[in-house]
Structure 1
Amino acid sequence: MMIDFFLESLRTSPEHEAVVSSDFSVTFGQLTRLIGAYEKWLDAHQIPEGAVVSFSGDYSPGSIALFMTLARKGNIVIPLSQDSSKQFAEFREIGETEYDITVDGDTLELVVTGRKAYHPLYTQLREARQPGLVLFSSGSTGKSKAIVQNLEKLMGKFRQPRKAMRMLIFLQLDHIGGVNSLLYSLANKGTTIVSDARTPDKVCEAVERFGAEVLPTSPTFLNLLLLSKAYERFDLSSLKLITYGTEPMQESTLSKLGEILPEATLQQTYGLSEVGILRSKSRSSDSTWMKVGGDEFKTKIVGGTLRVKADSGMLGYLNAPSPFDEDGYLDTGDLVEQDGEWIRILGRASEIINVGGLKVFPAEVESVLLSMPEVNDVVVYGVGHSITGNVVCAKFSLAEELPLRELKKRVFQYCKDRLPSYKVPGKIIITDEPTFNQRFKRMRREKV
């Protein structure tokens, strides 16, 4: 099993620093011993191979060790982040969890649910005697979808050696990006850095204190970092690579990042929970054009939308029909522009605003509005209109207090020479609420 490859990596470098934060520092050897102790704990509590097990607990030696232990024991793992604590009951019900574990430091607390998980996808994993992973979509357009991965195949992507890096983990273990970052770090004898909180100051403090070389994050968080000016309060010179994904990058944000962190390479990444994280290469640090693929991926563009086929793609959804076509390709829903082998993500097809038959991409409008000095953040989406079908709506978080009438005037003046008239926001909202969700993705929809 691929888990043995990871464990061998830990055993051969027992003194290497595996995970570090302001609260703990654990070597590969200590992590190995913790995995051994958890194996005995699972046996003592009679948790069988193939059982569906959820665990709640954000990045810590305990949660990382438990994740690896459950994989080794052939369980179907459902990691739950505290970010989604209000949905724990929903996720456990959809996932048919048979055992729920809470990680508190090194201590584990168990609840036997009495459920029996009979889903055909689970049967498929059990018959193959391979571990599984269940992740949940963000549920931005409705009920969350439960995505079932073969964890053995997912881990297999990391057999090819890559460069060891000191990586600050940003996305949690319940996100494909977080799982990908952790497995990369463990497989390549890297060091996983955990910040005390996912705020600009705490992330930058951890970068400085622990010499982080890689920061994988989202465009929304990078915009927050710029607004906070935390880069002026902490030394970020150790950063060699900043990767960003999960949503389109605003070009204005990318340009500012290049100015304040000229020594760091800025690289766009691309992936989905359904297919995993594709290998990517940005045309340059200041470009939103990239190549995507890799040995285990095939891509094609149909009707302007990117489709992906992956050797390590998901087995399916627990609570929705399979989205793959007859050739095994997934329609990602991401509209792209193509220039030879390079592509540029324009936005989700479901988020495109149709104004009188003309398409408006929210990220393009956001990029312009974010350049306004009075704007902290902004999210753009469409709302219904009796004449044009839809109109562009912009919800603002402001750096200074302004009456709505004055903001509308400034937005119109600022946009009139920068955007075609149909892209200029026709509806403007000022909000004190976050414009992004717990995964630091902009919420491009109107609350109902």
Structure 2
Amino acid sequence: MAKVNRARSTSPPDGGWGWMVVAGCFLVTICTRAVTRCISIFFVDFQTYFSQDYAQTAWIHSIVDCVTMLCGLGFALCYSPAIAMVGKYFSRRKALAYGISMSGSGIGIFILAPVVQLLIEQFSWRGALLILGGFVLNLCVCGALMRPITLKDDQTTSEQNHVCRTETQGFQRASPSSTWTKEWVQTCLCGSLQQEYNFLLMSDFVVLAISVLFMAYGCSPLFVYLVPYALSIGVSHQQAAFLMSILGVIDIIGNITFGWLTDRRCLKNYQYICYLFAIGMDGLCYLCLPMLQSLPLLVPFACTFGYFDGAYVTLIPVVTAEIVGTTSLSSALGVVYFLHAVPYLVSPPIAGWLVDTTGSYTAAFLLCGFSMIFSSVLLGFARLVKKMRKTQLQFLAKESDAKLQLWTNGSVAYSVARELDQKDGESVAIAMLGSNPT
């Protein structure tokens, strides 16, 4: 087999072939996330054809999303590696690069939503799915753009793993059945895994992981139920597809502008807070949705929700990299997107069950809204506690330094006073001896 040429660099190049990687990731997000979200346009057709309720029909979309984030199957083999590759090529302009890459989801929704509706009308839902399947084959082209790159940190890790493998093979050849050899192999493997996944023990990452669960639960149902909700209040099929297009195009603006803004010097240190703000705003949009009963009211909602959805999606890799670093970014992103799987699986059916039970979308939308707000508040509270603890430790450190300095100065002062007393005593003795020569 031909050997793959691997580019070598001491630091991310922040350009060059990296822009081709961004283009590849852009196409990947169109072929994966955009196509997945456009499945909501099929929702009413699925429900009518199979004669099922909301909860049962929602499993179609939720299983697609879940398998994408959970396994090494299908879209998952393209989505996570493409995002991780962008992080390898960019450092200084990472948020902008991710903004452009992730905007493929919004552009895809903007283009595909009306196209899918036309395909359903012309070729039925079966024909539309076949055509979408042919379009998704472009993922093969995207994979050809992903040129591997070796950074300085990767070289160090690779050298350590190579030494470990060499020593292990040598010990196995020398004494393959030795108990000591087996223990060495286990220790080496455990050390390698511990080095790659040591971020799992970081408290900041644990909090991020918990918040991702609530955030993922809240964000998924809208892309399943926006079209059915619009149809239930009297909006036509074309207008409902138009809402999805608006959501998609504003999502693009959120991806790019938020990525560009948070790369600026004034906001560079506040990317974490911007991420929290975007999630919280989407939660507030959810809480307002049940009161919007017409197309003119749904359009501003789609604009607002789409913008902040694109904003926080762009910042997920940035916030993850801030917590775990660039070296472990690929593994950490894999865990983060893996954590999306379970909420993606259960949230649309739960929302559908609430719609079937209550006969209204209100309970489902409110639950999603509060879930996203809780995700934002949890991260904000954790960051506040960390900052307070850091301030307290700094105060204790300063106080201990002051006490140490005071103790040292006191000792010096006591020593000087004692020397002065000794000199005074000697002077008095000499004077007495001078006055009494006997």
Per the TM superposition, whether the score is higher than 0.5 is: no
- Tell which structure's C-alpha radius of gyration is larger: 2
More helix by share: 2
- Could you state the TM-score of these two structures normalised by the residue count of structure 1? 0.21
